[in-house]
Structure 1
Amino acid sequence: MQHNSTYQEVLGVVCAELQKMFPQEGPITGDTDMTKDLPLDSAGTMTLMFELETKLDVSLPLNDLAGLTRVHELAELIVKLRQPPAAG
């Protein structure tokens, strides 16, 4: 995926990956709470991070993930991390 991908594209990838991991959980949206609505444990989190890093060509520092609960928060973080550095 290109680095200039939109929030909606990134959100779609995140939701699709979570849906593959948890097909029994019904529709996963930006408002899905990853800590309460999904049985996402630490191993599952690492699997998700690996898949997202591979598909979206981004490095997700674990400390940046702390405190994220909703799917849209993760998508917003990925979009932010994929922005090119400001010239200066």
Structure 2
Amino acid sequence: MYLHVTGTVTDPGGLAAHAAGEARVLRELKADGVVLSAFRRHDRPGAFLLVEAESVQDARDKLGRLPYAANGLLTFEFIEVSRL
């Protein structure tokens, strides 16, 4: 299943301490085919992702590896989408 995922930063001040780990895990998720596309928001801290996973829970578990999410600095909203 494909999911449009909106990531909302809840604590911008805490991001710097986890930036290197965040970039590393995001690269791994892209290499594993979980994160198909990732975009940084310009209107406020956050991101939009296109994710492929078995279920919303599977996506939640896999994205939960991201240090920002694991440390409560980023929350996600998941919307199932399909190709046109």
Q: TM-score, normalised by structure 1?
A: 0.34
**Structure ranking higher on relative contact order (CA contacts 8 Å, 6+ apart):** 2
Higher CA-based Rg: 1
Larger % of helix: which? 1
Larger % of strand: which? 2
Q: TM-score, normalised by structure 2?
A: 0.35
